[in-house]
Amino acid sequence: MLIEPGELLRDIHTPEDLRKLAPSQLYQVSTELRQYIIDMVSVYGGHFGASLGVVELTTALHYVFNTPDDQLVWDVGHQAYGHKILTGRREVFHTNRLYKGISGFPKRKESEYDTFGVGHSSTSISAALGMAIASKLKGETHRQHIAVIGDGAMTAGLAFEGMNHAGVADTNLLIILNDNCMSIDPNVGALKDYLTDITTSQLYNKFRDEVWRILGKFNRLGVRFQQIASKVENAVKGTVLKQSNFFESLGLRYFGPVDGHDINHLVSVLEDLKHIPGPKILHCVTVKGKGYELAEKDQTKWHAPGTFDKITGEIYKKIYDKPQPPKYQDVFGHTLLELAQQNPKIMGITPAMPSGSSLNIMMKAMPDRALDVGIAEQHAVTVSAGLATQGQTVFCNIYSSFMQRAYDQVVHDVCIQELPVIFCLDRAGFAGADGPTHHGAYDIAYMRCLPNMMVFSPMNELELRNLMFTVSLDEFKKYKSAITIRYPRGEGVIPDWRKPFEKMPIGKGRIIQEGEEVAILTIGPIGNYAVTACQQLAKKGINPAHYDMRFAKPLDSSLLHEICQKFDKIITVEDGCLQGGFGSAVLEWIAENPKTTIPPK
């Protein structure tokens, strides 16, 4: 489907082209850019609301700053569609997130304008600061370094660590706080309230405008006058807000809040800030989904809606003539609520993924026992550990790739302390269109090596449900061990999954199919591929045995003895990395049990 850009956008192939336009044309560029994003995402899918919210900001940044010499770092990156379209990728944008197509996130290999690869949140300040320090060391004092970070990403510890360093690093760093009160779900926490306080203080905003006007004059009078103006400005901010400014207390000059959709004002403000040396932060207030009414009204639904009719807003869904299996995340969400209704000790924790994990089902029914702690995986793990010390049964749901951010907390706060926290790792294995930053490739390897940690993966929805039931029982606590339950993005295989709970044996696998000559050992839903493979092979008269081992740790030693005494050819299959994974575990077991096994091939 041919989607034509507007008449100005058509001739913008790089930001150089954009910078040739008059300021009075930028409103039209923004309008055309927004429409182009709507047109493209409605047909090809992808993230939606976040990019619409930064159309003006994107245009203004590339207009004012000399990108790519000035370095622009997008946090998370799902808001960077406008950036990609303005930086030479408009004509391939229809391949966004498709196999062999362009990435849905900024990617260093893809463009010199993508200064830093992203996908996870809260890295932009540290990355931009690193670039700024390098520029300073190289004497490239003309270069600007800009980190664009959302208020959701700002809640993570890494963002604070970056600001804490930036405040004393004396570099040309501009942090743009894109404040839209949202992550994928509505933002949470005290920082959100603080930002709202600044944004809505009429008295402060009146003073702010006046100070800004004065500051503009002082900027033309030199550094000494800027310092005086800055002191006056700080005093005003502190007095009017009745508290010291959080960002200024970290050594960052705070500017704003400004309307992130007023393109002309944004250009003017950024031009001013370009001439103010040192670390600074501009607070931009934006609306996620801006310019598409439905996306503005239901920002979570329109975060990444899939393809849709841009006129009616109808989101296209496949229509089936028979019941379909549920998503694993929904099995998790409904099962946890069911268990929590029977067991008052159960709690649920998510770091900013209520809808992505389906913990929102329990949050709605039991808001005191299911908590969204913000984009803060480290905190999510340690708060779960704290709850576990008090006897709570904690299900901490984190995407597999996001759990990488909280590894020390798993080791230090959970495993060493023998706390029976139940980690549910969604998006394990290949995540799909989100790409390498989101593939849950490593969790079997990084969890399996830890003492006091079990690793399980269900082959289907019933196994997930029954294992959740099993580990929710008090008797699981006798193991003094945490457990990782990993399952993939997307649907399972059993439409009729709401069956009565059954207790599962810990550390035990099962046989799926008896066979000859070869044994296929699988873990997790990938075992269903092995079932299909066995059906294909049966047509050729080949009948391998198939075992669903369920646990990568502890391995089912007695079943492995049985398998290895019967077969000298074993194939392991897992949706995870080779080194350190389930296959490695089986090889280690065989190496440790040489006398009971036929040498495997």
Partner 1 sequence: MADQIYEHGTQMELHRESGFAPEDIAQAVEKILENVKVKVL
Nearer to partner 1, 55 or 520 (CB): 520
Strand order in the sheet with 370-372: 370-372, 346-350, 393-399, 422-426, 482-486, 453-456, 551-553
Q: Which of residues 435, 452, 473, 498 is near partner 1 by CB under 8 A? A: 435
Among 523, 520, 518, CA closest to 507: 523
Q: Where are the alpha helices (DSSP H) in 99-201?
A: 124-137, 157-169, 190-200
Question: Looking at 432, 449, 561, 562, which residue binds partner 1 (CB under 8 A)?
Answer: 432
Cβ proximity of 143 and 72 under 8 Å: no
Query: 3-class DSSP state for residue 145?
Result: strand
Of 171 and 329, CB closest to partner 1: 329
Amino acid identity of residue 174, one-letter, is: L
Q: Compute the distance between CA of residue 426 and CA of residue 327 in angstroms, rounded to an integer.
A: 11
Note whether 599 binds partner 1 by CB under 8 A: no
Residue (of 50, 120, 47) closest to 376 by Cα position: 120
Residue 395 parent element (H or E): strand 393-399
Residue in 377, 434, 443, 556 binding partner 1, rule: CB under 8 A: 434
Q: Which of 191, 158, 132, 195 is nearest to 76 (CA)?
A: 158
Q: With respect to partner 1, which residue has the nearer C-beta, 536 or 596? A: 536
Residue 104 binding partner 1, by CB under 8 A: yes
Q: Does 536 bind partner 1 (CB under 8 A)?
A: yes
Residues 32, 37, 39: CA angle, nearest 5 degrees: 90
- List 490, 554, 557, 562, residue binding partner 1 (CB under 8 A): 490
Give me the catalytic one of 405, 465, 486, 553.
Answer: 405
* φ/ψ of residue 116, rounded to 5: -150, 135
Nearer to partner 1, 15 or 119 (CB): 119
Give the residue, chosen from 225, 338, 537, 554, that forms a contact with partner 1 under the rule CB under 8 A: 537
User: Measured from the CB of residue 54, what is the shortest distance to partner 1 in angstroms?
Assistant: 22
Select the residue interacting with partner 1 from 517, 565, 588, 592 (CB under 8 A): 517
Cross-strand partners of 372: 350
Backbone region of residue 509 per phi and psi (left: phi > 0; alpha: psi in -120 to 50; beta: other values)? beta
Distance in Å, CB of 306 to partner 1, minimum: 13
Q: For residues 259 and 262, what is the distance between their CA atoms, to the nearest angstrom?
A: 6
Nearer to partner 1, 3 or 537 (CB): 537
Binds partner 1 by CB under 8 A, chosen from 24, 202, 390, 579? 579
Of 22-30, 265-273, 449-457, 524-532: span binding partner 1 (CB under 8 A) = 524-532
Count residues contacting partner 1 (CB under 8 A)? 43
> From the list 131, 198, 361, 441, which residue makes contact with partner 1 (rule: CB under 8 A)?
441
Stretch binding partner 1 (CB under 8 A), from 4-12, 259-267, 321-329, 425-433: 425-433
The length of the chain in residues reads: 601
Q: Closer to partner 1 by CB, 317 or 540: give it.
A: 540
Contact pick of 208, 327, 489, 550 for partner 1 (by CB under 8 A): 489
Q: Is 18 helix (H, G, I), strand (E, B) or coil?
A: helix
Is 489 an active-site residue? no
> Nearer to partner 1 by C-beta: 372 or 434?
434
Question: What gap in Å lies between CA 81 and CA 52, rounded to an integer?
Answer: 9
- Asked if 157 interacts with partner 1 (CB under 8 A), we say no
Our CB check for partner 1 shows the closer of 88 and 436 to be 436
**Residue 125 vs residues 133, 150, 170, 251, 402: alpha-carbon distances, Å:** 12, 11, 14, 14, 18
- Using DSSP's 3-state secondary structure scheme, residue 72 falls into strand
- Distance of closest approach, residue 496 Cβ to partner 1, in angstroms: 23
Report the alpha-carbon distance of residue 566 to residue 568 in Å, rounded.
Answer: 7
Taking the complex as a whole, the smallest distance from the CB of residue 103 to partner 1 amounts, in Å, to 6
Q: Does 316 engage in binding with partner 1 (CB under 8 A)?
A: no
Q: Which is nearer to partner 1, 392 or 543 (CB)?
A: 543
User: Is the four-CA dihedral 412, 418, 424, 429 of positive or negative sign?
Assistant: positive
- Token readout for 417 is 């302390």
SS3 assignment, position 510: strand
Q: Which stretch binds partner 1 (CB under 8 A): 3-11, 148-156, 364-372, 533-541?
A: 533-541
In which element (H, E) is residue 15 found?
Answer: helix 15-19
CA of 313: how far to CAs of 71, 293, 538, in Å? 36, 9, 47
Handedness of CA 305, 310, 311, 315 (dihedral sign): negative
Pull the structure tokens for residue 338: 């069911």
100-108, 156-164, 499-507, 591-599 -> range binding partner 1 (CB under 8 A): 100-108
Interactions with partner 1, residue window 449-488 (CB under 8 A): 488
Stretch that binds partner 1, among 221-229, 305-313, 319-327, 436-444 (CB under 8 A): 436-444
Inter-residue contact 30 to 41 (CB < 8 Å): no
If binding is defined by CB under 8 A, does position 98 make contact with partner 1? yes
Least Å from the CB of residue 489 to partner 1: 7
The pair of structure tokens assigned to 15 is: 């930001």
d(CA 266, CA 174): 14
The one catalytic residue in 377, 461, 463, 574 is: 377
Is 293 part of the annotated catalytic residue set?
Answer: no
Site residues for partner 1, window 555-574 (CB under 8 A)? 569, 571, 573
Quick one: 270 or 586, whose CB is closer to partner 1? Answer: 586
Contact pick of 520, 564, 585, 590 for partner 1 (by CB under 8 A): 520
Q: CB count, 10 Å around CB of 591?
A: 10
Q: Is 405 annotated in the active site? A: yes
Interacting residue ranges for partner 1, rule: CB under 8 A: 97-101, 103-104, 429-436, 439, 441, 488-490, 517-518, 520, 526, 529-530, 532-534, 536-537, 540, 542, 544, 569, 571, 573, 575-579, 601
Q: Please list the active-site residues.
A: 288, 377, 405
